[in-house]
A = this chain, B = another copy of it.
Amino acid sequence: MHDTRPDHAAPAMPQGSIDALYDVVGARRDVRREFLPDALPRALLTRILNAAHMGPSVGLMQPWRFIMISDEGTRAKLAASFEAANAAAMGTYSGERAATYASLKLSALQDAPTLIAVTTEVDAKRGHGLGRASWPEMAQFSTVAAIQNLWLAARVEGVGVGWVSILDKDDVRDALGLPDGVAPTAILCVGYVKRFEPRPDLEAAGWEERLSLADVVVAETYDGPSYVDE
């Protein structure tokens, strides 16, 4: 590869690290099927949680909290909320799409050995408001970036993660005892899995197709020409 990097620029990491990062990005999956019941070692969970905690946050507010759920009552409440929300969603489809929707496995709340609820203290004093005055969503966005760190760390460790959003947020608040000012950001199903599929389940099932990179990168303005030659 011809390196055009200026002499006084910080270097790239070693090629092996570059390759590893792209490998894990490409191999990460949103897993809902074939979790194994075996508990994850505490040391492994701590490593992937620490990766999350190294995530970026607006104003260094670190608004996230990770709630590790093993209580079967909490699991049952979340699973019941999924069942109701999923039934309501199913009612909005018809014909072939309804049949496809019904065939999808969209929750592993009752299968995965570990559930992690991730919350955001949206108006925390921590960070002193920096970067949030005109863009308050940045608090939850920070938490999402942390979750993506966790997701990639889990994948490289051979651990599956499935993010379930077919839930009533008020049910989630009740199940976890969230105080005012704290938003539920994600419910994650986490555990060893039998396999990581080569393609996303939703692509394999024909639910939606992948766009090409050229479809999503444009020059200068929203309706500008494609920027990528593929």
Interface residue from B11, B56, B163, B178 paired with A56 (Cβ < 8 Å): B163
Task: Among A13, A93, A141, find the residue whose CB has the most chain B CB atoms closer than 10 A.
Answer: A141
Within 8 A of B (CB), among A18-47: 18, 20-28, 30, 36, 38, 41, 46-47
- Is there contact, CB below 8 Å, between B55 and A148? yes
Interface residue from B49, B106, B185, B192 paired with A10 (Cβ < 8 Å): B192
- Is there contact, CB below 8 Å, between B66 and A218? yes
A50 to B119 CA separation, bound complex (whole angstroms): 29
Contact size range, A: 35 or more
- Is there contact, CB below 8 Å, between B156 and A138? no
A75 to B11 CA separation, bound complex (whole angstroms): 27
User: Inside 8 A of A88's CB, which chain B residues have their CB?
Assistant: 133-134
User: Inside 8 A of A99's CB, which chain B residues have their CB?
Assistant: none
- Is there contact, CB below 8 Å, between B208 and A153? no
User: Inside 8 A of A165's CB, which chain B residues have their CB?
Assistant: 58, 131-132, 134-135, 138
User: Inside 8 A of A36's CB, which chain B residues have their CB?
Assistant: 6, 8-9
User: Inside 8 A of A169's CB, which chain B residues have their CB?
Assistant: 134-135
- Is there contact, CB below 8 Å, between A131 and B59? no
User: Inside 8 A of A207's CB, which chain B residues have their CB?
Assistant: 59-60, 128, 130
Please report A residues at the B interface, Cβ cutoff 8 Å: 4-6, 8-13, 16-18, 20-28, 30, 36, 38, 41, 46-47, 49-51, 53-56, 58-62, 64-71, 74, 85, 88-89, 92-93, 97, 101, 104, 106, 119, 126-135, 137-138, 140-141, 144-145, 147-149, 151-153, 155-158, 160, 163, 165-169, 176-179, 182, 185-186, 192-196, 200, 202-203, 207-211, 213, 216-224, 227-228
A-B contact pairs, 29 of them (CB 8 A): A6-B36, A9-B192, A9-B193, A10-B160, A13-B20, A16-B16, A20-B21, A21-B51, A21-B156, A25-B55, A28-B54, A49-B228, A53-B213, A66-B218, A67-B218, A67-B219, A69-B220, A85-B133, A89-B129, A104-B130, A127-B208, A134-B168, A135-B165, A135-B167, A137-B137, A145-B148, A176-B221, A177-B223, A182-B222
